[in-house]
Amino acid sequence: KRTLLPLLREETSSFIFPCHPAVQRPELQHMVMELLRCIPLLLFLLFVCGLDHFIFSILSIIQHHSFVQYSYQTSHHLSVTVMGTSLMAQLLRGTIGALNTSFDSEVETSNLGCLPRPSGMTRQQYVDTCLPLGALALLCLLQVYPFRLRRAIAAFYFPKREKTRVLFLYNKLLRQRKNFLHLQRGRIARLARQPPGLGTSLVQWCRRRWPWLRRCLRRSCALCGTPETPRHRPCPDPECGALYCEPCW
């Protein structure tokens, strides 16, 4: 409607334009809330990865510094010698000589079987672990674009409801603009009654004294604050000196 268009700067920031590629202010708040919900998952993931690395470091230290190896060697030699040539000596040599034994034993053992054998996660495993969370954060950023289709889908299936919503929005904007202009008139009137500050007076004197400084010392719209352009219009009251952009004027 001509009574509403073009939209004011404050009104434009409260709408979502479906064909605009950038994320807009109403979508930004929802997107930030979704990203904040990913922070607990990120903290949990960092805690789990840090705990895994800490346990791996401890087990690796135990593996490298707790290795103990035992070596046991023993030797046993038994020899009985019977001297003499008598019958008794020969009998003893035949019986006791069988007891002569000799053996050597060497045993080596260690606690290698009881030591832990940790295996640390590779870089690819860390990437695969963090990839789902990264995909979730990316979906939080991209979900604003499919959400723009909700109104079009609802309007296709419920055209009467869409007409009611448009009329409600139109009347709401009319009321908001009326209240907005009333509040802004009061604010500008209060500012006009206040004496100008030292900085404002100095800037105005410099603009009048050196006109070429106007490109650097640009003023802004008294209503919306947009920087000065050739389309801005000053107030016709010579004692006011306020500047307005074309939509606000």
Q: What is the pLDDT of residue 53?
A: 92
pLDDT of residue 128: 92
pLDDT at 158: 95
Q: Among 33-47, 63-77, 83-97, 215-229, which stretch is predicted with the lowest mean pLDDT? A: 215-229
227 DSSP assignment: B
More confident residue, 149 or 199: 149
pLDDT at 10 over 60: yes
Instruction: Say how many residues make up the chain.
Output: 249
Evaluate if residue 240 carries a pLDDT over 80.
no
Which of the residue ranges 52-56, 145-149, 169-173, 198-202 would you say has the lowest mean pLDDT? 198-202
At 210, is the pLDDT very low, low, confident or very high (cuts 50, 70, 90)? low
For residue 100 the two structure tokens come to 């002569």
Do the beta carbons of residue 179 and residue 187 sit within 8 Å?
no
Task: Report the chain's mean pLDDT, rounded to a whole number.
Answer: 83
Helices in the chain by DSSP H: which ranges?
A: 9-12, 25-65, 87-96, 123-142, 144-147, 149-157, 159-193, 198-209
pLDDT digits (tens, 9 = 90+) for 43-66: 999 999 999 999 999 999 998 888
pLDDT in tens, 97-142: 777 778 888 888 888 888 888 888 888 999 999 999 999 999 998 9
Does 83 have pLDDT greater than 90?
A: no
Look at 178 and 93; give whichever has higher pLDDT: 178
Residue that wins the pLDDT comparison between 80 and 168: 168
Q: Positive or negative, the Cα torsion across 41, 46, 47, 52?
A: positive
pLDDT at 189 over 70: yes
Of 15, 36, 1, 11, the residue nearest 167 (C-alpha): 1
